[in-house]
Chains A and B, each alone.
Chain A
Amino acid sequence: MSLITPDGGLIFWMVVIFAIVLFILAKWGFPAITSAVEGRSKRIEDSLKKADEVDRREAGIAVEHEKMLAQARQEQGQILKDASATREQILAQAKAEASEETAKMIAQAKTQIEADRKTALADMRRQVAILSVEVAEKIIRKELSGAPEQSALIDRLVQEASQLEKPLN
């Protein structure tokens, strides 16, 4: 069978031509192409890696940003809370002070009023006594013409006056 017996002539030419082709291509053809292709694929790989890194860094920045924002928000809340607490405290304190002051003033006023009332009462009593003495004088001047009844009256008046004097002291 000629199909499966390799022909010498074709083998000869095949060796010669393939060797020449291989030599030419291995010397001037493929190294240039390979280095260019490899260079590009390396560059693409590098670029992808770099892009990935940038992406990751960006993602890190975003997370940090988020964290900072959250922290700021938290601080803000804390400050607001503190402020409102302080306000409450100040208000309460003020209220307490005010009520204390008022109570003090009321007490003072009360004592003053009491004192005033007492002096006024004493005054009044003195006036009443004076008045009554004057009245009594007038009555006595008018009625001292009588005898027995007069002396009885005088006794009674004296007694009453002495009774009146007592609570004043």
Chain B
Amino acid sequence: MKKLAVILLGLMLWIPAMAGGMSQGDDAAEGGPDISGLIFGHIGDAYEWHITKIGKKDLVIWLPVIVRASDGWHCFSSKHILEEHEYQGLHIAAEGEPHEGKIVEADGRRPFDISITKNVLSLMMSSLLLVVLVLLTARWYRRHDSLEEAPRGLAALMEPLVGMVNGMAKDNIGEDYLRYSPYLLTVFLFILLNNFMGIIPIFPGGANLTGNIACTLVLALFTFFIVNFTGTKHYYKELFFPDVPGPLKPLMSVIEVFSAFVKPLSLTIRLFANMLAGHIQILCIVSIIFIMARYGGVLLGGMSFISVFFGIFLDVLEMLISFIQAYIFTMLSSIYIGLARAKE
């Protein structure tokens, strides 16, 4: 049985080589596949969700465009603007223009754009999934006496995570950690779930939400506001009037205030850059197969073997990083909150 599995896996490692060989026809005419287009298409946001290509036909989910232009609200399927190029006086900015790839008005101005893009849809789905998962877990605990019964199923999955984040909150924040633990738990599970969804290569996964700076910025801002709106007197005293010798006071307070703003920025960039880099790495490794398709034969076979091997390795590594980044974000948030809750 085990031997069979190994043989099957060995055979599967060669499949990409065939796929690469098959797609050779298309790309050969253009002088090789557009790898950077492919990678940026995957990690970027889009008005449609391109799932796959079946033969010559694209399998696409058209997403709603919601835009407030100078002449009022526009709401239509992205199919129109993507296929007809110009729709209701709006078009997508071409390469090289200021708002490249985004919907702009005829004069190149960017309208107020709250379209349901690929990332927004992914955010909605994963948020729904998160809410359902957590509420189901909560329901299990409401229906069972947790003192008498060991958790099973979903509860058994969630309990270690909840226990871990609660422990972290207790260690870093102190006695009133219960006020903050729901936020920390939400952030942790939100990041973890979206990180994992990002690794799944096909719909409903595959969007690069936590590798998008807007997403991580919002998460970091939540932490920032929670830290600075619930800070103690002592925290603000240290922030604006640090306890240092006289002449250093203005300098230190500038540094302290600066650091208060740098903290969320570092949270933003850490998560964003880690997840983005992970996605790019995996895509690059997989793209080797399609680059090598041009050279054919032995080189394609060998390289696809290597790239699948490294692809598996990077996927597993990315799972680890997904967890670590969610953990670090939560850990640092709890530390920042703990610092702001300092009594003396």
Known: A11-B218, A39-B146. A26 touches B186 (CB 8 A): yes
Other than the given A10-B212, A33-B155, 14 more pairs (CB < 8 A) read A2-B44, A3-B276, A12-B114, A14-B219, A18-B186, A21-B190, A22-B186, A25-B135, A25-B185, A26-B182, A33-B141, A33-B159, A34-B182, A36-B146
Query: Complex Cα distance A2/B217, Å?
Result: 15
Residues of A with C-beta under 8 A to B138:
28-30, 32-33
Contact with A along B194-228 (1 / 0, CB 8 A): 00000000000000000011110111001000000
Segment 25-48 of A: residues with Cβ below 8 Å from B: 25-26, 28-34, 36-41, 43
A-B contact count (CB 8 A): 131
B181 CB–A CB distance under 8 Å: yes
List the B residue with the shortest CB-CB distance to A41. B163
Contact with A along B119-158 (1 / 0, CB 8 A): 1100110010011001101100110001100000001001
Docked-complex contact A18 and B127, CB < 8 angstroms: yes
List the B residue with the shortest CB-CB distance to A26. B182
Contact with A along B33-50 (1 / 0, CB 8 A): 000000000011100000
Q: Which of B123, B134, B147, B217 contacts A30 (CB 8 A)?
A: B134
List the A residue with the shortest CB-CB distance to B65. A9
Residues of B with C-beta under 8 A to A3:
43-44, 213, 276
User: Can you name 17 A-B residue pairings with CB atoms under 8 Å?
Assistant: A3-B44, A5-B213, A7-B45, A8-B113, A10-B45, A11-B217, A13-B124, A17-B124, A18-B186, A18-B190, A21-B190, A25-B130, A29-B131, A29-B135, A29-B182, A30-B162, A33-B155
Between A5, A22, A31, A41, the greatest number of chain B beta carbons within 10 A of the residue's beta carbon is seen for A22
List the A residue with the shortest CB-CB distance to B142. A32
Docked-complex contact B147 and A33, CB < 8 angstroms: no
User: What is the interface of chain A, defined by CB distance below 8 A to chain B?
Assistant: 2-15, 17-18, 20-22, 24-26, 28-34, 36-41, 43
Query: Complex Cα distance A43/B141, Å?
Result: 16
B178 CB–A CB distance under 8 Å: yes
Q: Taking the nearest CB of chain A, how far is it from the CB of B30, in angstroms?
A: 24
Docked-complex contact A9 and B117, CB < 8 angstroms: yes
User: What is the interface of chain B, defined by CB distance below 8 A to chain A?
Assistant: 43-45, 100-102, 112-117, 119-120, 123-124, 127, 130-131, 134-135, 137-138, 141-142, 146-147, 155, 158-159, 162-163, 166, 178, 181-183, 185-186, 190, 212-215, 217-219, 222, 276
Residues of B with C-beta under 8 A to A30:
134, 138, 162, 181-182, 185-186
Q: Taking the nearest CB of chain A, how far is it from the CB of B318, in angstroms?
A: 18
Docked-complex contact B276 and A26, CB < 8 angstroms: no
Docked-complex contact A14 and B218, CB < 8 angstroms: yes
Docked-complex contact B182 and A6, CB < 8 angstroms: no
Docked-complex contact A26 and B183, CB < 8 angstroms: yes
Q: Taking the nearest CB of chain A, how far is it from the CB of B119, in angstroms?
A: 6
Query: Complex Cα distance A59/B213, Å?
Result: 61
Q: Which of A9, A28, A39, A43 contacts B135 (CB 8 A)?
A: A28
Q: Taking the nearest CB of chain B, how far is it from the CB of A67, in angstroms?
A: 40
List the A residue with the shortest CB-CB distance to B221. A15
Residues of B with C-beta under 8 A to A31:
182
Docked-complex contact A25 and B182, CB < 8 angstroms: yes
Docked-complex contact A18 and B113, CB < 8 angstroms: no
Residues of A with C-beta under 8 A to B134:
25, 29-30, 33
Q: Which of A2, A4, A14, A40 contacts B215 (CB 8 A)?
A: A14
Query: Complex Cα distance A120/B185, Å?
Result: 132
Known: A14-B123, A31-B182, A36-B146. A8 touches B112 (CB 8 A): yes
Between B181, B218, B219, the greatest number of chain A beta carbons within 10 A of the residue's beta carbon is seen for B218
Q: Which of B131, B146, B214 contacts A14 (CB 8 A)?
A: B214
Residues of A with C-beta under 8 A to B159:
33, 37
